[in-house]
Structures are given as structure tokens and as C-alpha cells.
């Protein structure tokens, strides 16, 4: 009987932001281009439309990249129908509703993963819960964090040493420690979650808690 080589089945879970979504789609293309990989991108209908045409025109990945769409739970959180991407949110309130809707997608996506049991999961930084479902099915989880090395160095230093807590005002300069050059900032330049406790900040902390034990790589 002729042996048929099975392709590795890899699930890609992109965040619902174009700056995260498109790089992850390109990453799926890179995986498929090496051969022996079948990719499934899990997203919502609106987000799928942002890249589906480019996949259809890509002869190299055609057939090896599938898109599985899940329904956005808009009504459950009071989010207007059709808003499924951060780029569509014109107010902080809409962004908050979008994040709540994304959180509600955890269970249906986990069930999809259980049913398909992919060989590997590549998930965005905003899906820290994917660590546990990957462990459940005994598959590696690769953390997708679409930022450059300088950003990560600055962010790590700010979170570890908190130099912004030692200045007296939002306009006073402080030095970011342990960088190879002298880089200064002010509190007014920081993201809100670094200055005060926010739900977004709690999510970022959850993300950082998963980094130490997971396979982490920057694809830039």
C-alpha cells in the first residue's frame, strides 16, 4: 500500500487588528511555502474579507491555507453589527465592546481546536488562553508578537524597573535603564496601562505571564 505523507495541520489565531492580522497571514504563507504544512486561519467574516482575495490570488499557498470563520458575538456585548476590527472602532467604548466580544470567542474557538486537534497553534499575544488549550491537546503553541526588538526591550525595562514611578510629573524626563544607549521618555508618552491600572493592563500582564513558559518568536 502506497504511503501518503500527512501534512502538519497548523492553526493560526490572529488578533482582530489589521496590524496583527496581516503579518500573521503572511506568516501562515511562510509556513506553507516550506512544504508539508496545511494552515487554518481562524477569524471572523469581516476580518477574513481583509485578506481572502490575496489568498485566492496566491498560487503557491492555494489549497494549503484554509479560512475558518466564527460568528462575532456582537449582540451579547452591545457591539454594532459588522464591527469586528479595531480599525473600525471610532471610540474607546467601541474598543472595549470589541475586546469583550473577542473574549466570548474563547470557548467556541477552544471547541474548534478540540474537534480538529491541530499539530501546532500559532496564536496572537492577545489570546493567552490558547496556552491551556494547546497543553490540553498536547500541541506546541507559538506566541505571535508583531513588534520589533527595540519595543520589547523598552517595554521590558519599563515593566521591570518602573522608572516612570520615580518622577514627579508627567512632563519630567526619565531614563529607561539597561539599554545600550541613553533613551529618555516622559510619563505623558506612556500607554495608559503603564500609568494606571486598567483592564487592558491586566490583559497585558496575563500575556507576559505566559511568555516565560512558551515558545516565543518575533517574525520580523
8-146+211-217: CATH topology is Rossmann fold (3.40.50)
Grid cell at residue 138: 498536547
pLDDT, tens only, 34-43 = 889 999 999 9
Domain boundaries, the chain: 8-146+211-217, 150-189
Q: What is residue 37's three-state secondary structure?
A: strand
CB 44 within 8 A of CB 152: no
CB 137 within 8 A of CB 117: yes
pLDDT tens string for the chain (220 positions)?
A: 445 578 999 999 999 999 999 999 999 999 998 889 999 999 999 999 999 988 888 766 667 999 999 999 999 999 999 999 999 999 989 999 999 999 999 999 999 999 999 999 999 989 999 999 999 999 999 988 877 778 878 888 888 888 988 989 999 999 999 998 999 999 888 877 676 655 554 555 555 565 555 555 444 3
d(CA 53, CA 140): 30
Residue (of 25, 28, 30, 35) closest to 10 by Cα position: 28
Show which residues are catalytic: 20, 124
Which residues does residue 69 pair with via DSSP β-bridges, in sequence order?
43
pTM, two decimals, is 0.76
Q: What are phi and psi of 19, to 5 degrees?
A: -70, -20
d(CA 217, CA 156): 15
What residues contact 171, with CB distance under 8 A and at least 6 apart? 186, 187, 188
Amino acid at each position: 500500500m502506497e504511503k501518503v505523507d500527512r501534512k502538519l495541520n497548523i492553526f493560526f489565531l490572529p488578533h482582530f487588528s489589521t496590524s496583527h492580522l496581516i503579518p500573521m497571514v503572511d506568516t501562515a504563507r511562510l509556513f506553507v511555502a516550506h512544504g508539508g504544512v496545511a494552515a487554518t486561519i481562524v477569524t471572523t467574516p469581516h476580518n477574513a474579507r481583509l485578506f481572502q482575495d490575496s489568498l485566492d490570488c496566491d498560487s503557491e499557498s492555494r489549497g494549503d491555507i484554509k479560512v475558518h470563520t466564527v460568528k462575532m458575538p456582537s449582540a451579547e456585548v452591545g457591539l454594532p453589527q459588522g464591527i469586528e476590527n479595531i480599525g473600525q472602532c471610532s471610540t474607546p467604548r467601541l474598543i472595549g465592546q470589541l475586546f469583550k466580544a473577542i473574549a466570548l470567542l474563547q470557548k467556541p474557538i477552544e471547541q474548534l481546536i478540540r474537534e480538529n486537534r491541530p499539530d501546532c497553534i500559532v496564536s496572537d499575544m492577545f489570546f493567552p488562553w490558547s496556552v491551556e488549550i494547546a497543553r490540553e491537546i498536547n500541541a506546541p503553541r507559538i506566541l505571535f508578537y508583531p513588534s520589533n526588538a527595540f519595543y520589547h526591550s523598552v517595554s521590558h525595562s519599563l515593566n521591570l524597573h518602573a522608572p516612570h514611578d520615580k518622577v514627579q510629573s508627567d512632563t519630567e524626563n526619565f531614563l529607561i535603564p539597561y539599554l545600550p544607549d541613553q533613551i529618555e521618555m516622559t510619563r505623558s508618552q506612556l500607554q495608559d496601562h503603564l500609568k494606571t491600572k486598567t483592564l487592558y493592563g491586566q490583559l497585558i500582564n496575563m500575556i507576559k505571564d505566559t511568555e516565560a513558559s512558551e515558545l516565543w518568536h518575533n517574525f520580523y
